[in-house]
Structure 1
Amino acid sequence: MRRRDVLRTGGLAAAALAAPAAPAIRSAEAQAGKTLVIGGSVPLTGAAAETGLNVNNGYITAASYMNEVLGGVEIAGEKYRIELKLFDDASDPARATTLIQRQIDEGTNLFLGSFGSNIVLPTAAITERAKKPMVQTGGGSDAIFTRGLKYVFGMFPRATRQFAATAALFKTLEPLPQTYSVIYTNDAFSKTAGEGVRLACDAAGFKRIDSYELPAKPTDVSSVLGSVRAKTPDLLVCVMHDQNSLLVARQMIASGTNVKLLFQGLGPQLASFREALGKYSEALFCSTYWDENVPFKDKFFGDSKKFAEYYRSKFTRPIAYHVAGAAACIETYVLAMQAAKSTRPEAVRDALAAADYETFYSRIKFTPEGDGDAILMGGMIGQVQKGKLEIVYPQAASSASAIYPAPPWDKKA
């Protein structure tokens, strides 16, 4: 892994601390009279690092652009330079909570989230007690948004509301699938995502054959795949984090477990996942919440293509929707502060709750509980075709038609 793919920090002493890239335009930095500090943690190492690095790089991209290109951001008539204080939580909730509490004790008032509901939930509880806002793109578990927290805001709908678009796609396939099974892992996000799959698919009229729960960190899924082969569904839906999705796919290939459609909520959206599977990634489906061709206009970057262009000037790591979601967190903060004409935590929180504005990522609007609006911030469906992730649903955003049924593993060219 190259350092440039982790951080562009301008000479920090430790790679555990992520901050904006050193300004390339000194005059732009000089224009900003005040500093806006935003804290948090991200998993740069450990089990969640693959996506954590994308989240980290998205945060850095937005802050760097606002500092370097725009010369800072104006809030209530004053210019601010954004300073990120993001530490590596090593994918460890206990470490993350310690880091967040330390930052609160040191006076940080605004926070960005880590990646993974198992980290976002306990850290959001800490920022909630301190009445400090957290805007995050890494936690979708219902538990984050059903416990009465008022200071946490998420870039996705809660997990049980995320599958409606996918079930709608399934209804458009020909020949129409009849049956499905779902596999999920025993963690906060995946369990509630699995419940969302069952609710959406049952409501859409598909017959459920089986529902399988795996450990939070599975190492072998052969017995579950044996059951899948014994009662083969038309649709197999796997909702779990990227590394677990890769394990399931590899063991399906090795065991010759074929289905007409394999949907993996997280995994195929990553270029590294597709590269790891090679030809076997062909025709896999997944959720995606952003694509650089989406038509949204943006107050800061202009549009998605310009955001992607700027990102690539900073990082060689392939762009993914978590990069865009993370950058949108910072944009959302700035827009809320501009609306509130204040950087005070309580005023920013109230402005976030009332947010309704367009960014390159999506139109930003939160439910009263803080998760993303299920329609405005709901996902698109991607499918791997010739190694690239194509959007296949909704039709208005599609770049290709869905391939269904998928070829068996041994027939993939």
Structure 2
Amino acid sequence: MNSMKLTSLAVATALALAGCGKKDEAAPTGNASAPAAQGGAAVVKIGFAAPLTGPQAHYGEEYKNGVTLAIEDANKENPTLGGKPVKFELDAQDDQADPKTATQLAQRFVDEKMNGIIGHFNSGTAIPASKIYADAGIPQIAMATAPTFTAQGFKTTFRSMTSDTQQGSVMGKFVVEKLGAKRIVIVDDRTAYGQGLADEFEKAVKAAGGNVVKREFTNDKATDFAAILTAIKAVKPDIIYYGGADAQSAPMAKQMKRLGITVPLASGEMTKTPDFLKIAGKEADGTIASLAGLPLEQMPKGKDYATRYKARFNVDVATYSPYGYDATRVMIAAMKQADSSDPKAYLPVLAKIDYTDGVTSGHISYDDKGDLKIGGITVYKVVNGQWTVLETLGGAAK
């Protein structure tokens, strides 16, 4: 039953029992639904979208876990808005990493009057969905890292992680200046994320004096890279950079070794996962990947979060859940500061927020585009089957 029907039923019951001389109690300030039962808290609905099925489901599930934990923690604090109790409720949906599905979900979320959106996960889904949320005035904090996401000029778009502009540029400079690579091959999966990351990496390589001797592309469903890798082997690169997910980078790492390509594979944060290690096996060793932010154990509240996350979900933190957790807590903090769940009321507060209680950072705030003001990059390397910190590079997010 929808909230309008519930409200009508509650009002009708009150009038029947108490007569017309009394008014029903007002719902909390903003866009929250009326209480589902007498004396109950009004529901504040937060929509979530990510791939929950298919080859990227492990990303989406971990991301969702962080959001779930944040909402559970917020509800334990007995929140109120406009002087009335509220309950935050998650509506998690599978966008299948598909732009068409994502836009359909976005319209559904708008029609169902979500108070805010966490997601989408992929740049290729977050970007088309963002127009729908922007037209409706609903704030969206996405995991999307493609520069285009916040370059559109929408006032409703915000990031959970630093953009590919920083991550690609840091890695491009790193492989040339720190690893001494001069002959570099780039491969990407033609998604908004993979191609965008590879483009930024290429710019930085050239700026640092490196030479991109070959650039190839595949797709985010491929698993056989024999033809591409054979062509790459012939140009004798010092390093191969891949822009894309672990479903492709892991078999690519295995096939490189089988073809006798011994140079390192480098990639972005969608490769820095436990699944990459499982799929690539012993051939994972030597792979290098970047990830936004500090290592979990160095995050301001990383150790505590890791303990609570393991207790709640019986798995270790992989990559994305702390960012989903913080995004949700930041959105809720903006609602609390505005004393309203109405997007029109809390959006200006969110845009100017300085959240100091985050897991990933002691200061979470956004610039005028919705990019994080403060960020950093950590470079990891697989050593003996485990991701180990190679170097942490702090600094501004842009």
Q: TM-score, normalising length from structure 2?
A: 0.82
Q: Counterparts of 1:118 and 1:335 in 2: how far apart (Å)?
A: 28
User: Superposition pairs for residues 143-158 of structure 1, below 5 Å?
Assistant: 143-158=148-163
Q: Is the 2:309–2:315 contact (alpha carbons within 8 Å) kept by the matching residues of 1? A: no
Letter in structure 2 aligned against 1:233: P
Specify the alignment match of 1:258 in structure 2: 262
Question: Which of 160, 167, 179 lines up with 2:165 in the alignment?
Answer: 160
Opposite residue 142 of structure 2, the aligned amino acid is Q
* SS at structure 2 position matched to 1:38: strand
* 1:309 alignment counterpart: 307
Q: Does structure 2 retain, via aligned residues, the 8 Å contact 1:268–1:274?
A: no
Deviation at 1:305, TM superposition (A): 0.9
SS at match of 1:357: coil
2:290 is the alignment partner of 1:287: yes
Query: 1:263-412 residue pairs with structure 2 within 5 A?
Result: 263-289=266-292, 290-296=294-300, 303-358=301-356, 359-362=358-361, 363-373=363-373, 376-394=374-392
Which residue does 1:12 correspond to in 2? none
Residues 291, 321 of structure 1: 8 Å contact kept: no
**What residue is the counterpart of 1:128 in the other structure?**
134
SS at match of 2:371: coil
Gaps of 5+ in 2: 1-38
SS at match of 2:230: helix
- Secondary structure at the aligned position of 1:141 is classed as coil
TM-score scaled by structure 1?
0.79
Tell whether the 8 Å contact from 1:48 to 1:115 is kept in structure 2 after alignment: no
In structure 1, the partner of 2:64 is 56
- What is the aligned residue count? 355
Shift of 1:330: 0.5
Provide the C-alpha distance between the structure 2 equivalents of 1:265 and 1:32, rounded to a whole number of angstroms. 46
Distance 1:179 1:77, change over 3 A: farther
**Separation (CA, whole Å) in 2 of partners of 1:294 and 1:237:** 27
> Paired residue for 2:241, among 225, 237, 242?
237
> Post-superposition shift, 1:196?
0.3
CA pair 99-165 structure 1, distance change in 2 beyond 3 A: same
CA distance in 2, matches of 1:170, 1:42: 31
Match runs of 1:163-202 below 5 Å:
163-170=168-175, 173=178, 176-202=180-206
1:63 Cα deviation after fit: 1.3
Identity, in percent, stands at 24
1:80 and 2:86 are equivalent in the alignment: yes
Partner secondary structure for residue 202 of structure 2: helix
Distance 1:62 1:328 in 2: 7
Q: Distance in 2 between matches of 1:267 and 1:84?
A: 25
Letter in 2 for 1:360: V
Give, as a single letter, the amino acid of the residue that structure 2 aligns with 1:104: V
Shift of 1:77: 5.4
Q: Residue 91 of structure 1 corresponds to which residue in structure 2?
A: 97
Give the aligned residue type for 1:111.
I
Q: Which amino acid aligns with 1:328?
A: D
Instruction: Name the larger-Rg structure.
Output: 2
**Matched letter for residue 311 of structure 1:** Y
Q: Deviations over 1:307-327 (max 9, x none)?
A: 111110111333122111111
